[in-house]
């Protein structure tokens, strides 16, 4: 497995694969900001917005590939606020549904921590669906729950879903 940080050119080159990962995630019920039915123009526009954020230096897009095929991705938002230079936020950990339980999500999260350290971020935050596979993974990796929000998200089928906010200090 190869893990790398994508730049704008990488995002453009792999747009179809990135879009495929997002579509797969939504079809499997992931809470990644989209609902069914998916609008492919909106999906591609989303990745365009990520590319703009990457170029601006406020976000890292970390991708995992196996045999030159993208199998997972996660984002690290580098807080630009003057009072939060130590903080990063983890967005949208996605692993292809046919590749789950193979250590890809864990490897991506370890790379998030490496990149956070490189950018001098000592506090990481995220939110995830309560009771989901993501929550289980984050707990296993040492993340701590800081609270829950009932009816925080609408899942891909339109149902209200609770979220769990989690944090992790890294050295």
Map out the domains of the chain with their CATH numbers. 2-169 (3.40.630.30)
Residues 6 or more apart whose CB falls under 8 angstroms from that of 36 comprise 26, 27, 156, 157
Beta carbons of 128 and 163 less than 8 angstroms apart = yes
pLDDT of residue 36: 83
Q: Average pLDDT of the chain?
A: 95
Q: Which of 64, 68, 148 is nearest to 106 (CA)?
A: 64
Enumerate the β-bridge partners of residue 129: 163
Share of the chain above pLDDT 70, in %: 100
How many CB atoms within 10 Å of residue 55?
12
Q: What is the pTM of this model?
A: 0.95
pLDDT of residue 83: 94
Per-residue b or e along 101-130, where b marks 16 or more CB atoms closer than 10 Å to that residue's CB: ebebbebbbebbbebbeeeebeebbbbbbb
Beta carbons of 161 and 31 less than 8 angstroms apart = yes
Segments of the chain with pLDDT less than 50: none
pLDDT of residue 37: 87
């Amino acid at each position: 497995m190869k893990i790398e940080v994508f730049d704008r050119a990488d995002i453009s080159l792999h747009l179809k694969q990135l879009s495929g990962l997002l579509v797969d995630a939504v079809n499997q019920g992931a809470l990644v900001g989209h609902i069914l039915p998916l609008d492919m123009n909106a999906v591609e526009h989303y990745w365009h917005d990520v590319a703009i954020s990457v170029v601006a230096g406020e976000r890292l897009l970390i991708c995992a590939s196996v045999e030159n095929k993208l199998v997972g991705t996660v984002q690290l938002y580098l807080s630009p606020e003057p009072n939060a230079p130590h903080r990063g936020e983890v967005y949208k950990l996605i692993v292809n549904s046919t590749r789950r339980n193979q250590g890809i999500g864990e490897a991506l999260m370890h790379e998030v921590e490496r990149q956070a350290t490189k950018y001098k971020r000592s506090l990481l935050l995220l939110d995830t669906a309560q009771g989901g596979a993501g929550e289980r993974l984050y707990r296993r990796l040492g993340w701590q729950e800081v609270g829950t929000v009932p009816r925080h998200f609408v899942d891909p089928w339109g149902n209200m879903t609770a979220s769990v906010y989690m944090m992790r200090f890294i050295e």
